[in-house]
Amino acid sequence: MRYKNRSIQISCDGGAATGKSTGAKMISKKYKLNFLSSGLLYRYASFLILRYKPENKLNFLKKNFKKLNYKNLNIIKLHSPEISEYSAKIAKKNELRKILKKFQIDFAKKHKRCCIEGRDISTKILPFSDVKFYFRCNLSIAANRRYAELKKFDRSIKLKEVKKALRIRNLLDTTRKHSPLLKHRNSVEIDTGKLNKQAMLKKMSNYIDKALLKKYAS
């Protein structure tokens, strides 16, 4: 692969269940990039607080994130409805956000070839990323995706409950005071309601290849 050892940083943003994690993971695999999901960090922070109930949440999280090995998060179940709900709450807390923001920025400094996905990556974490993607899709499509995921944990969950929760989450994300979900002016929009995985990968790859060629062609 051309430019396989060259620096390339990709930022992916979007609302809940819009397919940004899927797109970011596919791109990371194809271009051999270090992948980071900011959403997973917030879920892990929620998991820690809910499980251990620390008196001083800030110091507790600082200590745990200082020694965190991101790869270990994949072996912890972090997608329960309880954790999802709590994640939306702590995302509004600026002091908590600063701890997770530091982890993400340090990750980007360490890995010059990386792809980070979340809600404020292009605007706050990687404002100088080589390529920025913004994922969107119809709420009904997003709800069906999340419903299929949550069914694995709770068979009694209802689709209408999931759709309502996503609507509320997206409202909170776009209206919160600190680091709201915004589309960067230079972001390439990816509508996952109109693209299958193969088409999504092709569209993203085209933009990344153009960026690499522009950056390194002599």
In a domain, 3, yes or no: no
Residue 2 pLDDT exceeds 80: no
Taking a C-beta distance cutoff of 8 angstroms, is the pair 168, 92 a contact? no
In a domain, 75, yes or no: yes
Q: Measure the CA–CA gap between 164 and 143, rounded to whole angstroms.
A: 9
Residue 218 pLDDT exceeds 70: no
The string of pLDDT tens digits covering residues 22-51 is: 999 999 999 999 999 999 999 999 999 999
What average pLDDT does the structure give for the chain?
93
User: For residue 189, what are the domain limits?
Assistant: 8-216
Neighbours of 47 (CB within 10 A): 19
- The CATH number for 13's domain is 3.40.50.300
In 17-67, beta strands by DSSP E? 34-37
Mean pLDDT of 127-133: 97
The count of domains in the chain is 1
State both tokens at 201: 């990968």
Residue 169 pLDDT exceeds 70: yes
Q: Measure the CA–CA gap between 23 and 27, rounded to whole angstroms.
A: 6
92-106, 136-150, 152-166, range with the lowest pLDDT: 152-166
Q: Measure the CA–CA gap between 199 and 23, rounded to whole angstroms.
A: 10
Neighbours of 189 (CB within 10 A): 11
In a domain, 59, yes or no: yes
In a domain, 1, yes or no: no
Q: Which residue has the higher pLDDT, 184 or 72?
A: 184
State both tokens at 194: 């109109």
Q: Measure the CA–CA gap between 38 and 16, rounded to whole angstroms.
A: 12
In the chain, beta strands by DSSP E? 8-14, 34-37, 113-118, 131-136, 188-191
Mean pLDDT of 164-168: 89
In a domain, 36, yes or no: yes
pLDDT at 1: 61
**Residue 192 pLDDT grade (very low, low, confident, very high; cuts 50, 70, 90):** very high
Phi, psi of 31 (to 5 degrees): -100, 5
In a domain, 83, yes or no: yes
Q: Measure the CA–CA gap between 79 and 62, rounded to whole angstroms.
A: 22
In a domain, 167, yes or no: yes
State both tokens at 12: 């992916």
Mean pLDDT of 113-132: 97
The kind and range of the H/E element at 85 are: helix 81-90
Output the pTM of the full model.
Answer: 0.93
In a domain, 126, yes or no: yes
